[in-house]
Structure 1
């Protein structure tokens, strides 16, 4: 009934998640684990190969450093995927995707726009796990624009029709926003809030993430921003502004601050509020000149 596709780089983690899946999934399943340690391929290529090799009609693409904390989660997932209007399901996502370069989260819009049921553990920091649960409307299945790549589920027919873009994205970042927007052209994208997942790493916003994210936003610039719930102009401005401040920090950390002007220009702040745009431009220019003084 459910094919669970895993891009694996750690046999111990794969063994642990396989045991956890067997104890919790609650329906007939198979694990399609692709060893990506030798001659590694990009995750889009791996996921497409896994989908092609799967035997069931419903597919779940999941990282191997996770633990399912909900019993019989497979039945809940299949029930959602049986709805013909649904094309992609995640366990974390946002109902608004700003035009500006960003991750899946809607910065500055957490209350009403972010849908998530995830326990986040921290591998690189001495911090206690955080259970992130945002569901202001009390929904079981909440419609969103984009979902996080830690857990993606769809019907096999949908993935064969709209596969991961392995020709364009050859690494391990950006695939979640890309597949969300691609499938969202024809089907609805949703977060299933009845499944709780534990994730044992924070992800890495490194130079590869910057490059992949920029490519994704170049590809989808003509379709963004996109939202599936009512949003005010003030909320859109706040999201663009907060997202830009967040992205500037990431660019600085990765020695890519020169991209900050292009990121700002590609957003919609200029059209939404010129004064806010100029403030963000001043912030960028100040940081750019400061980098010369330090060298």
Structure 2
């Protein structure tokens, strides 16, 4: 039995996803749709309300612009959680490396095949692109361990969601909640991606300055424990990955007109981690060179 929790912003999308869930889930379920079309509340607050209302032990948090293509997917979810008591979060897209540098769940600069695990039909609303099948299964598994998952769809136990509630105090908008929740749960449980459930996500997400503002808050909270990985990564690879990440982030923050102090604060945050302090100095030197026009700001890639 599964409680499906949705933060709803569009009545038409909600009607479609209700029908889709009922036709495909294959197990006893309830749908807890909380109307939030005017965005008066952040998604963390809404999801915490849904958790408290849920009648069943397994919760599924999902976006309403998702269409699940796999029949009886609820049985797959229940089997995964029943077979391993240490499973805490289950998604369909996730990252095996969560960088110290502020980022989403997927870190492009991590030069490893294990940087992402996903099986999603990805649609596009912001860009005129054709739908793609984002399939990346580096270990050829049905179920892979990751650090965090994408919030488009993920499941957990109600007991876990009550123990590690969504951080509505830090994250008041609609970004970063998925990573934050996973980092909390990762301390005690396994976070996994299944390749046995396929769904289409109609939108690609808007990774803009508003998104980055929330991600910066998230990383101030978790900097002391990052980076995290489920892979066997050397200290050397950690260092060079983070250096690449920080340089690109500094450049993007300058393009988005963040102040010198804001970028300085972000870099200082890296000094709290277990990564070598040399990383901090390299990042700060890159910022100074850009601000003093010693090197040009690269064009958008």
Mapped to 2, the partners of 1:81 and 1:103 lie a distance apart of: 26
State the TM-score, normalized to the length of structure 2.
0.88
1:92-111 matched pairs, under 5 angstroms: 92-109=93-110, 110-111=112-113
Cα deviation, 1:53-78, whole Å, max 9, x if unaligned, reads 11111100001111112221111111
Among 239, 242, 245, the residue aligned to 1:240: 242
Mapped to 2, the partners of 1:183 and 1:146 lie a distance apart of: 9
- 1:285 equivalent to 2:288? Answer yes
Q: Number of matched residues?
A: 291
Higher mean C-alpha deviation, range 62-71 or range 31-40: 31-40
Report if aligned partners of 1:107, 1:242 keep a CA contact under 8 Å in 2: no
- Tell me how large the CA RMSD over aligned residues is: 2.4
1:281: Cα distance to partner? Answer: 4.0
1:277: Cα distance to partner? Answer: 6.2
Indicate the residue corresponding to 2:153 in structure 1: 151
Q: Please state whether the residue corresponding to 1:223 is helix, strand or coil.
A: coil
Mapped to 2, the partners of 1:257 and 1:105 lie a distance apart of: 26
Report if aligned partners of 1:25, 1:72 keep a CA contact under 8 Å in 2: yes
State the TM-score, normalized to the length of structure 1.
0.90
Q: Please state whether the residue corresponding to 1:172 is helix, strand or coil.
A: coil
Mapped to 2, the partners of 1:81 and 1:256 lie a distance apart of: 43
Cα deviation, 1:10-55, whole Å, max 9, x if unaligned, reads 0111111112112211111111100002462110010010111111
Gaps of 5+ in 2: none
Gaps of 5+ in 1: none
1:1-295 matched pairs, under 5 angstroms: 1-38=1-38, 40-82=40-82, 83-109=84-110, 110-256=112-258, 258=260, 259-267=262-270, 271-272=275-276, 274=278, 280-289=283-292
Mapped to 1, the partners of 2:133 and 2:74 lie a distance apart of: 21
1:84: Cα distance to partner? Answer: 0.9
Report if aligned partners of 1:89, 1:190 keep a CA contact under 8 Å in 2: yes
Q: Please state whether the residue corresponding to 1:222 is helix, strand or coil.
A: coil
Higher helix share: 1
Mapped to 1, the partners of 2:159 and 2:64 lie a distance apart of: 24
Report if aligned partners of 2:51, 2:161 keep a CA contact under 8 Å in 1: yes
1:213: Cα distance to partner? Answer: 1.0
Higher mean C-alpha deviation, range 4-13 or range 132-141: 132-141
